[in-house]
Structure 1
């Protein structure tokens, strides 16, 4: 019984030591070198989650969403009788 507890404690200690040693090594790994090519960003149409009964109210919210750096365009689409805001963003 005494040997099993000692082995278990040693195994737990070794696992903790390996985990602690592996974490800094992963964090210190340098980022891959860039080949000089630009990173391509993929834009998609995404719902804002806001719905309006009037298109004018939906259109008025455009300036709020267009202030975000990742938003290119804003539009209002009719969904089940309500106007839904959509952004073209990444």
Structure 2
């Protein structure tokens, strides 16, 4: 999973679906958390990490559920509050 001359520890990827296919759902989850955090900081905003984690858990759950359990009704299909 490495390329000669490229330090994999310092390299980031923002293609979430490719990260999920290559490294798994947990790596994709961390990638989404990092993207949300960087976007918020760029706009001078802050959000509690627990809120980000809750949002990302719901997002990754929906992706996992829709890919593997398409025959089931979505659990959190309630829309906005």
Which of the two has higher C-alpha Rg?
1
TM, length-normalised to structure 2? 0.26
Q: Which has the higher contact order (CA 8 A, sep 6+)?
A: 1
More strand by share: 1
More helix by share: 2
TM, length-normalised to structure 1? 0.23
